Structure 1
Amino acid sequence: MPNRVIAKVRRMVSRKRAIVVLFVGFAMGIVGLSLFGTSMIYTGTEAFCATNCHEMADNNTLEYRDTIHDKNRTGVRAICSDCHVPHSPVPLYIAKMGALNDLWSHHVTHAVDTKDKFNAARPMMATRVWTYMKGNDSRECRFCHNEAKMDPTKQTPVAQARHARAKKEKMTCIDCHYGIAHTVPEGPGPQEIEVDKSFIPRSAIF
């Protein structure tokens, strides 16, 4: 009899332990997912991108101010993440991992921590971003600018002609619409860049 009681107690304890372990694991999963989701959202905010490090605050953020993406007649703004971060889940996660490399190679190593260093690296950084955007057919541009919803009759004759040419020659948005929010560096522009789509940079941050 005592052995049966002891065995029964052990089974009850084992079940309770299993329930506790499952509950703790579930709670930790919820907390982990919440922290992950919060970090994804926070690191895509204008406050984080534009002011969190002096490399951005002293260079790109100042250039962006009062541009058409910052201030316009409609009040509809495009912030850093709208142009530089994918909006669909899988590409977003890949870009965020790529951004960790940017954090190391640019911020931690002080590669662009002064105006002179930043301007010296500008052609390389711009080329990397243009290559990324050409490789995905200007995906982030198209998230806001839906070509199917454009009304050509409301475009100038010059814009109509250029868009027709771009479509015919299979050009993408960034081939023509660059330097909108940032200073254009010396050297070739997006149209002169040959893109090998087998290797596209993981992010368009720097």
Structure 2
Amino acid sequence: MTKLQEMNKFARFGVYLVIAVVALFVLPFLSWLIGEESFTATSKAAFCVSCHSMEPFVASNADNTHGGNNEYGIKASCSDCHLPHDNSANYLYIKAQTGIHDMWVETFEDTSKIDWRAKTEHREEFVYDSGCLTCHVELEKATRDQEEHTRYFAGETTSKCATCHEEVGHSNLNKHLLQSKYK
């Protein structure tokens, strides 16, 4: 006879209750905590620069208002701009897709042969308007550059934020690329 069989019904109920509480509350909480910390850690420049090809981008970001070079010291993380913020499912999907792609490229390709300056011509593919509008929520009501922004919010243009704001998030990027082996 096992010890569990020897226990009285009340003691067995207590054991089952503890197991149920752990399964229903502790495990989901720990899963959420680990997931949240992982997403936070992998969204910052310190993580992105662990791939050497990102060094010029992190350096140029530090020169920029969005990288903390402002009177308030406010910093946008890489994921604030380079991941969509329209819904959680899309955010997670694009984060996973981008992460897998970037790990593959860093591991199996010669990143020094990538023409990073040419890629800046396609910056709209790497910067999400939903990220911009998460922080710049009052932009539609702003009076500065109102004509352009009114057309944007009315859907009268195919332009995206990065179309007009060419160096958004990365000041002096060409300088940093030229100073590195990633030209």
> How does the TM-score come out when normalised to structure 2?
0.66
2:159 counterpart SS class:
coil
Task: Report what 1:94 is aligned to.
Answer: 93
> How does the TM-score come out when normalised to structure 1?
0.60
After superposition, the Cα gap between the structure-2 partners of 1:13 and 1:126, relative to the gap in structure 1 and judged at 3 Å, is: farther
Task: Report what 1:69 is aligned to.
Answer: 66
Question: Is 1:78 paired with 2:70?
Answer: no
Question: Is 1:169 paired with 2:168?
Answer: no
1:53 to 43, 51, 54: 51
CA distance in 2, matches of 1:149, 1:122: 34
After superposition, the Cα gap between the structure-2 partners of 1:160 and 1:24, relative to the gap in structure 1 and judged at 3 Å, is: closer
Show CA shifts across 1:108-167 (max 9, x none).
22442x3xx24x25535763x52365xx6x1111111232331x1xx3xxx345445555
Task: Report what 1:191 is aligned to.
Answer: none
CA distance in 2, matches of 1:160, 1:148: 8
Identity %: 22
Task: Give the CA deviation at 1:39.
Answer: 0.8
Task: Report what 2:42 is aligned to.
Answer: 43
CA distance in 2, matches of 1:170, 1:9: 71
Contact 2:140 2:149 in 1 (8 A): no
Task: Report what 1:140 is aligned to.
Answer: 131
